[in-house]
A and B are shown apart, each in its own frame.
Chain A
Amino acid sequence: MTDAQTSPVADRKIDRSKMAVSDEVAIEIRDMNKWFGNFHVLRDINLTVNQGERIVVCGPSGSGKSTLIRCINALEEHQKGTISVDGTLLSNDLKNIDRVRSEVGMVFQHFNLFPHLTILENCTLAPIWVRKTPKREAEETAMYFLNKVKIPEQADKYPGQLSGGQQQRVAIARSLCMRPRIMLFDEPTSALDPEMIKEVLDTMIQLAEEGMTMICVTHEMGFARQVANRVIFMDQGQIVEQNEPEEFFNNPKSDRTKLFLSQILGH
């Protein structure tokens, strides 16, 4: 295993005291299928995520990882099966979709900050317009979370003036301002320079320590080992294998998983 894969988080003792998994179901996916035109991109996905779980999804490029987590907040429609988030069934009802989206935070590979708004405005926009929070209160919350991701001093700058790592931390803060119960991460570090990966992972670890339910698509295996309580391996639109990190890495069952791990970990 290369050091680069583990080093970002290895120097940190992780506080597991609040990382308890509850019995309460946060996300329930039943026999879900999705097609892009005729292309069957997700096949018979079954996945239950409890409140407080930290799940890492990995798999070769094009295996449907992004599509899977984008289905959870209805950025993509699924065609068959059911997804329910916090007890709300994702159907075509726009009301449900908007409600789920405001409960589920999402962090993208390319940050997707709004370049025409300042960092503070990026963070207060949704609370003010979706949650109808008064402006002052929304700004206080935003500053609280910007403090948390350690960039309060950038509040009045525009996204274009920040480094990639800083932008990604703002994106995380922006999602947190909606006080989501679940956070989705789609390869949050893969567009970043190596020296910035650590700061973003640190932020994510901090979130995990506070008991946030998280689903992360990532190839940071160090993060997976230390933070995840379950690792899911996907290939060709299917969940091939899922297990606790120790078992997953040391004792993979399927050949595809073994092949993938050997490639990514450079054995």
Chain B
Amino acid sequence: MHELSIAMSIVDIAEQEVKKNNAAEVIEIELEIGKLSGIEPYALDFAWDQAILKTVLEHAKRKTRYIEAMAKCQDCGNEFEIDNFYDECPSCQSYMKELLSGKELRVKSLTVI
């Protein structure tokens, strides 16, 4: 359950920003999470409820955008969407690829009051 560590890291970021900006709490948080970032959405949902208790995120609305994973074939240059690291290039069947997106793990924004 590394999702709990992740959720707690998000809480840390939020606490820090609230303090820095002299605010009271967070009312909305936007997360961007790549589909190959290693985060299981349901595990994050579960961890979230525990992690935010009695923190500035307790009443925050969470918007999570899961970002598609895109790769570029290093053999033929084709760009394609992947669901797994082991997906092959649909045009030349190579496994050599560079990940263009899908590893994101970001707090995009916080709305504080």
Do chains A and B interact in one complex? no
Partner-A contacts on B (CB < 8 A): none
Partner-B contacts on A (CB < 8 A): none
